[in-house]
Amino acid sequence: MPGLRTKLVVYTVLIVFAVAGAVSAISITLAHQASVAAFERHATVLAKTLGEAVLEPLYELNVKLMRQQVGSVLAGEGALRVMILDAGTRVLTDGTDENPLRGKEFNEPYLRQARERAEWVTRLQDGVIQVAGPVQATADRRLGYVVLEFSTARLDAEWMKHIRLTLLLAGVCAGLASIAAVIMASWITRPIKRLTDFATSIRLGSAMRKIPECGHDEVGRLADAFTDVLNHLDHSNAELKELANSLEQKVKERTQAAEAGNKAKSEFLATMSHEIRTPMNAVLGMASLLEETSLDEEQALYARTISESGEALLDIINGILDFSKVEAGKLELRTAPLDLEELLSGVVRMLAPNPAESRVALRLEYDPEAPKNIQGDEGRIRQIIVNLVGNALKFTEAGSVTVKVTGRAAGGMAKLRIAVTDTGVGIPEDSLEKIFTAFSQVNSTASRDFGGTGLGLAIASRLAHLMGGGIEVQSVLGKGSTFTFTCALATAEDLVTG
């Protein structure tokens, strides 16, 4: 896209050249017409003078004298042909000694016109100017005619010279005008360019607000308007920034308030659960003591119900306590050397269903390459595994539950993957994320049969995060699920085993 300057220059130059061309054409045509007219007048005067000079020789029919007169005109004026005709338009002399046309009738139309109207006639044809007119002794007595022919070659040569000169002049003028156009275009577009550069610098983030000098014309007024807009924008920007700051501040305050509220709630829960646990333990202790006394069948049932309900309640309270501790950021992991394989074998032994009562088999597959001796919080790792394996057993009616351990140790760190795979009911895809939030169970009716609070996975996944890993789940509804617990823990190579 050509710039404003280029357009201005191109259009101006085109106009200048068009005007110069038109003016030259008109001037050349007019000059040509004027010079032809002047030459025709000159030729007529010459012819008339010759007519007067040959009056007497014609009267006397002195051809010799006529030839002399004609010859002097031919020599002096560079005429193409000069002839004297008698009253019957027959050639008397053409000025040459040979006089080849002598006696021949000369019957050109222009001569006819001169003859009929008794007047001087001029005509321009095929580069020849022809003049003819009568020679009268008296008003009623015509002695003959004079015919003169001139070539326009000289006239044309002069005309060509004139054309060349005019074109040269026009060219020079147009050239000068073009240079002036270039200078003027730069002069006009310079302030616009300055303004554009300034606008570009603003767009690129310049903080500079001093607008360049753009004069007092339209561009100047545009620059003033631009300054106004800029000031207005700056003002609006400042206001927006202020608004954003105050909003940010408000959000911060509210977040802090919400966080403080959340923390207070968790602390309250933690304290409450702790406070409930103490009397609860006493209730449980007393119930078990009561069961050991001699009771009749009905009393024994009541005492067992107290024990079982108390255990369930304690489970829930422990869950709430753990969850609120993690949420309040108060849960700290212990670090001690442990043998992971031994730990997992213990859990599997403890949870393995009685083959006589259950159709589910529980297995442990420990990859020999995976590290065993690590440093971590034994109790919390057990809690996670017990929950995952417990869930798997809880939601699997028949088949197997497999605990598979893989992992590598590098640079003093053990990266472990403990996958618990079952062949149970599975979890619908849209619930896969939900099950990690507190108190959420996929199918409340089913869970009611199995028991539980919906806190287990929420706690386990938070604990896994604290161990530098997490818990992922993959499941196909009706086919089974795999919960993978990952963690990154320090190795304990020099752990004394056995």
Of 427, 463, 489, 492, the residue at the interface with ligand ADP (CB under 6 A) is: 427
Q: Which helix (H) or strand (E) holds 388?
A: helix 378-394
Minimum distance from residue 338 beta carbon to Mg ion (Å): 23
Minimum distance from residue 470 beta carbon to Mg ion (Å): 17
Q: How many residues bind ligand ADP (CB under 6 A)?
A: 21
Cα–Cα distances (Å) from 119 to 91, 106, 133, 444, in that order, read 19, 17, 6, 134
Minimum distance from residue 449 beta carbon to Mg ion (Å): 14
- For 287, phi and psi rounded to 5 degrees? -65, -40
Stretch 360-389 residues interacting with ligand ADP (CB under 6 A): 387
Cα distance between residue 204 and residue 195, in whole Å: 14
What SS3 state is found at 22?
Answer: helix
Residue-wise DSSP of 425-461: ----GGGTTGGGSTT--S-HHHHHHH---S-HHHHHH
Minimum distance from residue 324 beta carbon to ligand ADP (Å): 15
User: Which residue, chain included where needed, has tokens 């009541």?
Assistant: 302
Among the residue ranges 136-144, 247-255, 271-279, 452-460, the one whose residues contact ligand ADP (CB under 6 A):
452-460
Could you say which of Mg ion, ligand ADP, none residue 453 binds, taking C-beta under 5 to 8 angstroms by partner kind? ligand ADP
Q: With binding defined as CB under 6 A, does residue 452 bind ligand ADP?
A: yes
> Which residues of the shown chain bind Mg ion in the complex (CB under 5 A)?
387, 391, 456
Residues ≥6 apart with Cβ < 8 Å to 162? 28, 31, 32
Minimum distance from residue 338 beta carbon to ligand ADP (Å): 23
Structure-token pair, residue 437: 């939030």
Nearer to ligand ADP, 185 or 362 (CB): 362
Nearer to ligand ADP, 155 or 384 (CB): 384
| Chain residue at closest Cβ approach to ligand ADP | 452
Q: With binding defined as CB under 6 A, does residue 424 bind ligand ADP?
A: yes
Q: With binding defined as CB under 6 A, does residue 35 bind ligand ADP?
A: no
Minimum distance from residue 268 beta carbon to ligand ADP (Å): 22
Cα–Cα distances (Å) from 193 to 185, 199, 209, 212, 301, in that order, read 12, 10, 17, 10, 99
Q: Is the dihedral of CA 333, 338, 341, 346 positive or negative?
A: negative
How many other CB atoms are found less than 10 A from the CB of residue 480?
A: 21
Could you say which of Mg ion, ligand ADP, none residue 145 binds, taking C-beta under 5 to 8 angstroms by partner kind? none
Q: Provide the 8-state DSSP code for 331.
A: -
Nearer to ligand ADP, 54 or 471 (CB): 471
Cα–Cα distances (Å) from 429 to 125, 396, 432, 473, 475, in that order, read 107, 18, 5, 10, 7
Q: With binding defined as CB under 6 A, does residue 152 bind ligand ADP?
A: no
Minimum distance from residue 453 beta carbon to Mg ion (Å): 8
Q: With binding defined as CB under 6 A, does residue 391 bind ligand ADP?
A: yes
Nearer to ligand ADP, 220 or 454 (CB): 454
Cα distance between residue 194 and residue 200, in whole Å: 10
Per CB under 6 A, residues contacting ligand ADP are 387, 391-392, 395, 422, 424-425, 427, 435, 441-443, 447, 452-458, 481
